[in-house]
Amino acid sequence: MLAPVFRDAEGVLRILLLLRTDRGVHGGQLGFPGGRPEPGDRDFLATALREAEEEVGLRPDQVEVLAALDPVETFATGWRVHPFLGLVPAAVDWRLQPDEVVKLLTPSAATLSDPSQRRRLPFTSSHFREPLEVEGVDVEGHVLWGMTLRVLDDLMPRLLAGEWEV
C-alpha cells in the first residue's frame, strides 16, 4: 500500500485517498492505492508501486519513497498490510481504473490530524447494507475509517512534526 503525499500550489500538505467502487469487502471505502502481491513483485514496495500505477496511473518514477511504515493488521480480512510513504508531484495525469476507483480526494494533512474532525459516523456500502457506526472523519461526504484511518493516526503526527522532508 502506498500513502502518497504532496504539497499543493499554496504549499498545503495533502494526502491522496481514493474512493473504491462499491464492490467487494472494501467497496465504497476511502483508502490508499494498494492490493495483494503478485508473483512478479519482488517485494511489498514493488506491490505498492505496481498497484498505484494500475489503480490511479501513478508511475513508479513519480514516487519518492520516503519510508516503509509499520505493518498494520486489518480487522475485517485478517490481512497484514505493508504501507509505504511516498512523495508525489502535485500535478499528475491521474488515470483511474474504473473497475476499482470512483474518484480521488486530497484532504489536507492538517484536517486529517485535527481531533475535532473525528466522530461517530454511519458507513454503508454494498457489503454493509445496514449502517455501520464507525469512528471516522468525513472527507468530502465520504467516511474515512478503519485501517486507512489507523495508518494515518500513526503517520500524521510524524509527518507534521517534520520527520520527512516533504
pLDDT digits (tens, 9 = 90+) for 57-110: 999 999 999 999 999 988 777 789 999 999 999 999 999 999 999 999 999 999
The gap from C-alpha 135 to its chain's centroid, in whole angstroms, comes to 17
Average pLDDT over the chain reads: 93
Going by C-alpha positions, the residue among 31, 43, 42, 33 that lies closest to residue 123 is 31
Residue 124 lies inside a defined structural domain of this protein: yes
Q: What is the CATH number of the domain that holds 22?
A: 3.90.79.10
Range of the domain at 49: 2-160
54 in a domain, yes or no?
yes
Per-residue CA distances from 164 to 45, 113, 139, 159 (Å)? 18, 16, 24, 6
Indicate whether 22 belongs to any domain: yes
pLDDT category of residue 26 using cuts at 50, 70 and 90: low
Distances (CA, A) of 118 to 73, 111, 122, 141: 21, 10, 13, 14
Q: Is residue 39 part of a domain?
A: yes
Q: Is residue 165 part of a domain?
A: no
Q: Is residue 166 part of a domain?
A: no
User: Is 119 inside any structural domain?
Assistant: yes
Specify the pTM. 0.93
Query: What total number of domains does the chain contain?
Result: 1
* 149 belongs to a structural domain: yes
What is the per-residue pLDDT across 106-165, written as a single tens digit (0 to 9) for each? Answer: 999 999 999 999 999 988 777 777 888 999 999 999 999 999 999 999 999 999 999 999
Angle at 62 between CA 81 and CA 36, to 5 degrees: 25
Q: Is the pLDDT assigned to residue 5 strictly greater than 80?
A: yes
